[in-house]
């Protein structure tokens, strides 16, 4: 049986504005930067009319440090000023997980 240690998920849900110039490049840059952060565990993302990105972290402290990262702060500002009409952030503790795969 696999040992499971609880971790945290940051769920970022958003809708884009009409001006998404530079968004894809910044999203790619932020994903690479997040992977370098202490406590980062992974990411899942999907987008159509609504985008949902879930990043996974070892601790609330790791999330706090990521939110305060200087380059991430600049991306957040650009998002509010240009790329998003709306977004919502949820932080959740994951206490159990399971999956199915063929």
The percent of residues above 70 in pLDDT, for the chain, comes to 98
The answer as to whether 2 is a domain residue is no
Q: Which residues does 21 contact at the CB level (< 8 Å), separation at least 6?
A: 82
Query: The domain that contains 70 carries what CATH number?
Result: 3.30.70.100
The answer as to whether 49 is a domain residue is yes
Phi, psi at 83, each rounded to 5°: -85, -25
Residues 3-48 pLDDT 10s? 789 999 999 999 999 999 999 999 999 999 999 999 999 999 999 8
Q: What is the pTM of this model?
A: 0.90
The answer as to whether 46 is a domain residue is yes
Give the CA distances from residue 26 to residues 71, 73, 101, in Å, rounded to whole numbers and listed in that order.
10, 12, 32
The answer as to whether 101 is a domain residue is no
Residues 58-92 pLDDT 10s? 999 999 999 999 999 999 999 999 999 999 999 99
Which residue range(s) make up the domain with 82? 7-94
The answer as to whether 1 is a domain residue is no
- What integer pLDDT is reported at residue 1 of this predicted model? 54
Q: Which of 73, 62, 83, 80 is nearest to 9 (CA)?
A: 62
Q: Which residues does 42 contact at the CB level (< 8 Å), separation at least 6?
A: 55, 56
- In 10 A of CB 92, how many CB atoms? 11
Domain count for the chain = 1
């Amino acid at each position: 049986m696999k040992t499971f240690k609880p971790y945290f998920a940051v769920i970022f849900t958003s809708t884009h504005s009409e001006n998404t110039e530079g968004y894809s490049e910044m999203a790619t840059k932020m994903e690479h930067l997040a992977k370098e952060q202490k406590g980062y565990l992974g990411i899942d993302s999907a987008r159509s009319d609504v985008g949902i990105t879930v990043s996974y972290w070892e601790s609330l402290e790791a999330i706090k440090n990521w939110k305060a990262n200087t380059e991430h702060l600049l991306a957040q500002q650009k998002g509010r000023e240009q790329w998003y009409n709306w977004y919502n952030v949820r932080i959740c503790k994951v206490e159990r997980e399971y999956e199915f795969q063929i």
